[in-house]
Structure 1
């Protein structure tokens, strides 16, 4: 049955490998179950946000498993949740009080519906398949650097610094040392072809963290599961279906601006994540395109729509899916397993929420290394427009801390250089549309700055 559903033999994988990969993906992104309630909890019921996040993530990931058959998991996007809570609710809509989060949920719902429509007519699919091959490799490598930086930053191996922007962390701190030990464990296990090396690395690092906390070396957070609070699932009543279409109708221009901001970041974050993960999973065809990508985007749109109904910010494809791919995941069975873990998290939340960032950091850094290898496929001696586009994608993602921004610089540079080279015919109508969207985004940012 599983073979028929997910075509395991065709993808040269097994049930055991896919399940381990799915668990690995979940452990790498389980932090969102703690982070999202923390961020959105500033304007909403935290327990309700937790339940909404878990259920919406599971539903979207199940759609990804059965419709697209891809090893990609989805959940509430980082950055989008911060924009939801701090920029809009506590900033632009601060005067609306408790009504602010309802307006935001309405905007996310409308965004999801728009994405559903775009997915049905294949516009998002045309966007991703129109991106030049060289840019796709640059995007994949850039995401590798980006998620590695996320891991290093989460474990305090890299820390903020006023003089140099970033600096090396304190090697006397447990999280720094343990994360690096975890990375070595994963690499050594991978050398000996141990199945589930990434998952083993996460679990062993977590156990070492428990020992470090027991001895008093690590004191920043509690890494032991806390069952004292029990299950808090009733908060969903305070977040589900809390829309305010009346405000949206009476403040239409302002509402459209909010929807566009969510729409912009989501569509290009998803494009970047899907390209990067698909590349490392060997799912790109000979032209560098992604088969059945329409189903990928439809799953993403379903997650956003359902998430808004339940009470969470935009649901999008997670770059941490690369951890599952590194563990051998190649089909929707990996995604299905991750979805099941999200369901289980509702009753075992104290365990999953206890996994510290320094335990998942080694997985992100290792996966980042694998994804950066796509840079070797970039043709640096070919068309200069392709070269600069790929380079800027690789460069800007980690430095701007944004997948979408990296793609923006890549596309803008590619189109502009093509024009000056007299190769306008190389620019497809879809790429002109994407260029226009990014140009409008730049204009919007300049307007806001002024």
Structure 2
């Protein structure tokens, strides 16, 4: 018995040593336990994609069962590569906004076959990858003034808040006032509020797994009250063949598809770049000069994931803002991303169990992260209106336009124009001017 205990401790020591070498846990001030908790937390806040994406893309005529498998597989691969190669604690999966554009605008609206639209995603992903490999994206990130970086972080926080409030039914559409207050006495709304209250209280008490505990408690309450039905634990995954490698690569190379390809590339570029900046800042990956550790590797990873997702059958892969929830509970290294990836693989067989987590159970997590990210506004120099103005434009336009990319674009346009009119044009770099002009062209020429 003694030898068995010694062997077990020896194996654990070797495993910890291997993880330390790969992820440099001590240098990042984290532990295996904290990383696993962070990975589980991020996964629970974003696992809804394995149900929403298939439902969304089925509107384009694609097989729903195959989409479920494709979503799980590409999410798992992307997360694990991000963790092992870039050592970043972020999760990747097919993006909600881009896939809505794919299904409802390109296929249903413009009338293209989904195979041809998938080819456009492929070419947009190739362009996105090349921008990442040749460090054009890194140049873009390095060109962002500190004020706009703050605006991006806070804006994504407000964007998350809107998503959380909308998914919980606390904020609803209103034809007279655009948005309005929903029925806050409903079960879902009460549970979403309780979820947030639990997270804030437990976090104040220094509980690292506050988000995960809150989600578990709300899910159990939903089960006990009959709001969620227990549908089993294990099921075999369906075939992926109806969507795997069915893209029409050459069919997408037509003049009228150029705008679609550019749209996929540009929107993904600024969505993921903004998310990486915000999550990287929260994870403490920026040095004293604001340079992000392994940013180029993180960009190459999500750049490659974009076109690989088109091949697998689940476009377009992007870095998820929900990653901030895992960072908030201590995720600092790629081990967090690897855990997320493994859980996505597990979902291939445990989809009924994963599907029992209701949306209102994760709404509180999104609102909690919004609180943390909006805190960056405290560092803005509000006395300098040439800095404060662009910050607020960036921050408020993300949730109001329901687009991270649009918020970044409008902030970049406002920053040099305001500086110019205020007689402080010398504070604007050539790269910022170049990006501002590019964003103007984005709206005027491409209308996106």
TM-score of the superposition, structure 1-length normalised?
Answer: 0.92
Instruction: Work out whether 1:147 is the aligned partner of 2:160.
Output: yes
1:1-12 equivalences under 5 Å are 1-12=18-29
Shift of 1:378: 1.4
Aligned match for 1:62, one of 58, 80, 85: 80
2:364 alignment counterpart: 362
1:350 alignment counterpart: 352
Give, in whole Å, the separation in 2 of the partners of 1:277 and 1:246: 36
1:328 alignment counterpart: 330
1:411 alignment counterpart: 412
**Paired residues, number:** 430
1:241 alignment counterpart: 245
Give, in whole Å, the separation in 2 of the partners of 1:245 and 1:20: 40
CA deviation string 1:209-256 (max 9, x = no partner): 1123x2xxx4xxxx334349933421x11111112234223x2x2111
Gapped regions of structure 1 (runs ≥ 5): none
1:170 alignment counterpart: 183
Give, in whole Å, the separation in 2 of the partners of 1:289 and 1:391: 23
1:90 alignment counterpart: 108
Instruction: Work out whether 1:231 is the aligned partner of 2:236.
Output: yes
Q: Greater CA deviation, 278-287 or 423-432?
A: 423-432
Shift of 1:62: 1.2
Give, in whole Å, the separation in 2 of the partners of 1:280 and 1:199: 18
Give, in whole Å, the separation in 1 of the partners of 2:206 and 2:47: 25
Shift of the 422–193 alpha-carbon distance from structure 1 to 2, 3 Å rule, reads same
Instruction: Work out whether 1:49 is the aligned partner of 2:67.
Output: yes
Give, in whole Å, the separation in 1 of the partners of 2:230 and 2:51: 13
2:444 alignment counterpart: 443
TM-score of the superposition, structure 2-length normalised?
Answer: 0.92
Instruction: Work out whether 1:32 is the aligned partner of 2:49.
Output: yes
SS in 1 for 2:59: coil
Q: Any conservation in 2 of the 1:159–1:169 contact (CA below 8 Å)?
A: yes
SS in 1 for 2:96: coil
SS in 1 for 2:179: strand
Shift of 1:422: 4.3
Aligned match for 2:318, one of 295, 313, 316: 316
Give, in whole Å, the separation in 2 of the partners of 1:342 and 1:14: 22
Gapped regions of structure 2 (runs ≥ 5): 1-17
SS in 2 for 1:347: helix
1:258-277 equivalences under 5 Å are 258-277=260-279
Q: Any conservation in 2 of the 1:225–1:353 contact (CA below 8 Å)?
A: no
Shift of 1:296: 1.0
Give, in whole Å, the separation in 1 of the partners of 2:403 and 2:37: 29
2:94 alignment counterpart: 76
Give, in whole Å, the separation in 1 of the partners of 2:290 and 2:161: 24
Instruction: Work out whether 1:196 is the aligned partner of 2:209.
Output: yes
Give, in whole Å, the separation in 2 of the partners of 1:19 and 1:228: 22
Give, in whole Å, the separation in 2 of the partners of 1:109 and 1:208: 43
1:18 alignment counterpart: 35
CA deviation string 1:142-176 (max 9, x = no partner): 11111011111101111111222212221331100
Shift of 1:184: 1.2
Give, in whole Å, the separation in 1 of the partners of 2:373 and 2:100: 26
Give, in whole Å, the separation in 1 of the partners of 2:72 and 2:19: 24
